[in-house]
């Protein structure tokens, strides 16, 4: 079933209110890729991007199948999907790189580049060449990026982010925490935009298939 067509109760869970929207994603998750390409366009304020390891969440499996992902991407005018090889993608090393990029203030740029390398370019997220290409898009030098991936402190930071997300009500990716609620799935971005707009007295966000 397309996540954008699920009842609203499937999109959200109550959590304490926060000042800034949080966008949770796994670089190996194709629905997260769909969401990443539009989350900052639909939300009325930029989200903080938080890479998490979907394996550590309650519902790590994607709800949309490959045909649905491809159809939504085509409807939105995105590049034709080229699925990473091997598939399913092994994203742990890429998530470590995204965690490093987040510490450098470049999570959004790095993650968008990595998503595109994986799902528009068909590249292996576990391959360091893929990570170097994504890093180059946001001026992360490989001599800094690659050694950082071996640090236990970086792995611990990713695991803490995943645990905090789960404790805050994130069951699966993609998810947006906004207006005191967690909204799940690509379609949940629209519900999050509407909730933020309602809190601010503005207009709701755009269509789920925009």
Predicted confidence (pLDDT) per residue in 49-97, tens digit: 999 999 999 998 878 899 999 999 999 999 999 999 899 999 999 999 9
172: phi then psi, degrees, rounded to nearest 5:
-160, 170
Question: pTM for the full model?
Answer: 0.87
Predicted confidence (pLDDT) per residue in 14-45, tens digit: 434 456 899 999 999 999 999 999 999 999 98
The H or E element that residue 179 is part of is: none
C-alpha–C-alpha distance, residues 53 and 165, integer Å: 10
Predicted confidence (pLDDT) per residue in 100-125, tens digit: 999 999 999 999 999 999 999 999 99
Query: DSSP labels for 125-172?
Result: TTSHHHHHHHHHTTT--HHHHHHHTT-HHHHHHHHHHHHHHHHTT--S
Predicted confidence (pLDDT) per residue in 129-166, tens digit: 999 999 999 999 999 999 999 999 999 999 999 999 99
The answer to whether 161 and 154 are in contact (CB under 8 A) is: no
> Looking at the chain, which runs of residues are DSSP E strands?
12-14, 22-25, 48-51, 175-178, 181-184
Residue with tokens 């391959």: 127
CA–centroid distance for 210 within its chain: 17
């Amino acid at each position: 079933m397309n996540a954008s067509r699920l009842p609203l109760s499937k999109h959200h869970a109550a959590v304490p209110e926060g000042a800034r929207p949080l966008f949770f994603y796994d670089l190996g998750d194709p629905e997260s890729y769909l969401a990443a390409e539009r989350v900052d366009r639909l939300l009325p304020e930029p989200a903080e991007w938080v890479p998490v390891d979907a394996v550590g969440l309650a519902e790590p499996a994607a709800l949309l199948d490959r045909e649905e992902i491809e159809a939504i991407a085509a409807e939105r005018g995105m590049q034709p999907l080229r699925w990473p090889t091997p598939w399913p993608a092994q994203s742990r090393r890429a998530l470590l790189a995204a965690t490093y990029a987040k510490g450098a203030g470049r999570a959004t740029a790095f993650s968008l580049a990595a998503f595109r390398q994986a799902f528009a370019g068909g590249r292996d997220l576990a391959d360091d060449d893929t990570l170097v290409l994504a890093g180059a898009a946001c001026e992360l030098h490989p001599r800094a990026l690659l050694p950082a991936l071996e640090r236990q402190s970086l792995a611990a930071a990713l695991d803490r982010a995943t645990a905090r997300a789960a404790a805050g009500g994130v069951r699966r990716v993609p998810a947006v925490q906004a207006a005191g609620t967690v909204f799940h799935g690509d379609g949940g971005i629209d519900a999050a935009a509407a909730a933020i707009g309602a809190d601010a007295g503005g207009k709701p966000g755009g269509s789920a298939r925009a």
